[in-house]
Chains A and B, each alone.
Chain A
Amino acid sequence: MGLLKSYILPRLLQWLVVIVIGITITFIIPRLLPGDPVEQTVRRVSSTSVTDPRALEAFQNAIRDMYGLQGSPVEQYFRFWARMLQGDLGPSLSAFPTPVTTIIANGLPWTVGLLGTSIVISWLLGILLGTLAGYYPNRLWSQVLDKVLIAIYPIPYYILALALVIVFAYYIPIFPLVGGASGRPGLTWSYISSVVWHSFLPALSLVLIGTAFRFIIARALTTTIVSSNYVQYAELAGLPKRKIIFGYVMRNSLLPQVTDLALSLGALFEGALITEVVFSYPGIGFQLYTAILQSDFNLIMGVTIFSIVGIATAVLIVDLLYPLLDPRVRYR
């Protein structure tokens, strides 16, 4: 176990570095770019009504404070971190005075649920189908599957989600167009089933692309592994096909796939964000969208920071699970 320190520690360190650098970048961006969010906000508010210049100034200061833009950059930076470590991301403008953290907390379960189930399903499907297709590359089903998924994989998340909405929610209205669920929240069957129903299309969109991606990688990996010495030997020795596919091929292809999963979590997350926008699914992505529409600066910052921390942590967790699968890392 002592040697795991050589594995765990660097990854913990990287987790910290990612968070610090990512958040610092998020901090720097609004202060570096032209365009003053305070200006924008004030202008939007004061354009709808005539206001007393003194009140305007007070308002400006309040906004400046809310956005954390008081004082010198260094002061801002430290205050930024201080607030964040206390879990304070500031109040949301559009839903004043609800704190950003509350809004994120409301949307988080939806996103996690959608993303989580999509990842699990697409991973399992993709690896299973991909490995089988890689092992039997000349069967008809394998080639058909390959062509179909190759056509799906490059389609941007937005386009696929939009296409699904158009076809299945609009022209053939089977599924609901918007929303996360209907009815009152609770552990009732009607509520839970409406959750599942509403999440079907968004999840389908994510699962299709996710499976295609996984399939392509699993297939390629399987092709390489099938020609490796130990698989060839096992086949020579007449081991039953099922044992070879699962115990020799798939088990070994899992290792690089797990590493790859860690790296593609970011892309999957982005896909979920954009899918939520299309389906008006009440997760973090949709909140981000409304924040853009309503120029809610704090909420946008908050979601960005949260995404960085969330993804970095998810990557860390996946990385830490890797040794459980690979005995070469676990022992010696």
Chain B
Amino acid sequence: MATIADIRDLRAYYITDAYGVRRTVRAVDGISLAIRRNEIYGIAGESGCGKSTLLKILLGTITPPLTVVGGSVTYTFDGMPVDMLSLSEDELRAMRWKEISYVPQGSMHVLNPVRRIRDTFRDFIGAHVRTSPRETDEMVRAYLRDLGLPDKVLGSFPHQLSGGMRQRVTIALATILSPKLILADEPTTALDVVVQRGVIQLLQEIRERERNTMVVVTHDMGVHANLTDRVAVLYAGQLVEEADTRTLFAQPRHPYTQHLIRSLPKIDDKSERVSIPGRPPALDNPPSGCRFHTRCPFAMEVCKNEVPALEQIAPSHRVACFLVSERRAEASPPAIELQA
């Protein structure tokens, strides 16, 4: 399994110093994971857990007050590993759109309101490839047609298109130059369910055609279930569980993962939805020990004092929880099972 991106012990904080007050927000605090070629890798977690920050770093858009304080990010696109954090701004810019691309959150608003879609495509493509406007238009028209978007989209202004249509246009915009790695941040949020399905199918189709790799960040577990091959669950800036999707939904080990999955509505299940009390911690002053212990229904004494390490409990399953390490030590099977 070739790795396309290798993240080791990444730490990135937002450090601000205004009017005499210094604040450090530990958005990403020691994350290690590897993204394999041609997979769709999901990153799950509530808002404020650091997933957007992680994406920013993967993209190389690290602007103050965000600072990388430790760790490494290595990309391997054509066999040669590249230390992403040491690249210059120009090198990063050359990489973007052709190697790595980004579908942002709030895709509805990333299109310039005073420019027609056709011109926006010309702008974006023209920034990376030398073609004539006519060739660009042809390329765009063909691509949009392949993706099932109507021709008249080209001559329209963004406000004339529906939210879902704009989302798909943005996805097309980000993928038209066939980048090897696509980072999608909440691609389905703020869209109704029917349109969500269309977006998910679009992403799958693109992966099929181009054989590229995708990282999909969303708090919506339903999207992970339908789209991703593997899922990583983040909490308070740390990785708490990672497994291939089937396993994660069938046997979630970390209490937080269990909570995320349990809160998914199921059509035939009329039982009450329970939510864990409390809210995700503020990242400038995280709890001691395991960061989830304040909300964990199974918290033990050790959880308050020590940080659980990420352990490999199966070939494709890592968890950071004392329950699991304890259980492994006791060699008894976990008591919680869920239907996928």
Q: Does A72 contact B (CB under 8 A)?
A: no
Asked whether A328 lies within 8 Å of B159 as measured between CB atoms, the reply is yes
Q: Which of B110, B113, B115, B127 contacts A238 (CB 8 A)?
A: B127
In the complex, what residue of chain B is closest to A330 when comparing beta carbons? B157
A residues within 8 A CB of B109? 228-230
Q: How far apart are the CA atoms of A255 and B114 in the complex, in Å?
A: 10
On whether the beta carbons of B123 and A252 are closer than 8 Å, the reply is: no
Most B CB within 10 A of own CB, among A228, A248, A327, A332: A327
Which residue of B113, B123, B159 is within 8 Å of A234 (Cβ)? B123
Set B61, B94, B111, B160: member contacting A236, Cβ < 8 A: B61
CA distance A251 to B157 in the complex (A): 14
Binds A, one of B35-43, B96-104, B200-208: B96-104
Q: Once the chains bind, are B127 and A247 in contact (CB under 8 Å)?
A: no
Cβ–Cβ contact A233 & B113, under 8 A? no
Q: What residues of B have a CB within 8 angstroms of the CB of A78 in the complex? A: none
A326 CB-CB contact with B under 8 Å: yes
Taking CB atoms, residues of chain B closer than 8 Å to A44 are none
Cβ-defined contact, A327 with B114, below 8 A: yes
* A243 and B113 contacting across the interface, CB-CB below 8 Å: no
Using a CB-CB cutoff of 8 Å, which residues 217-241 of chain A contact chain B? Answer: 228-230, 232-234, 236-240
In the complex, the chain B residue whose C-beta lies closest to that of A229 is B109
Number of A-B contacts (CB under 8 A): 64
Contact with A along B110-136 (1 / 0, CB 8 A): 111111000000011001100000000
Q: How far is the CA of A174 from the CA of B208 in the complex (A)?
A: 76
Q: Is B59 an interface residue when CB atoms closer than 8 A count as contact?
A: yes
Interface residue from A233, A240, A331 paired with B110 (Cβ < 8 Å): A233
- Taking CB atoms, residues of chain A closer than 8 Å to B104 are 229, 233, 236
Given A236-B96, A327-B159, A328-B159, the answer on whether A251 and B110 have CB atoms closer than 8 Å is: no
For residues 241 through 272 of chain A, which have their beta carbon under 8 Å from a beta carbon of chain B?
243, 247-248, 251-252, 255
Closest chain A CB from B123 CB (angstroms)? 6
Report which of A229, A255, A328 forms a contact with B157, defined as CB distance below 8 A: A328
With both chains docked as a complex, state the minimum distance between the C-beta of A242 and any C-beta of chain B, in angstroms.
Answer: 11
> Which chain B positions have C-beta within 8 A of A233?
102, 104, 110
Report B61-103 residues with CB < 8 Å from chain A CB: 61, 93-94, 96-97, 102
Q: Mark A89-123, 1 if CB is under 8 A from B, else 0.
A: 00000000000000000000000000000000000
The docked-state distance in angstroms from the alpha carbon of A255 to that of B112 is 13
- Can you add 4 more A-B contacts, CB < 8 Å, to A234-B112, A236-B59, A327-B157? A230-B110, A233-B102, A236-B96, A237-B97
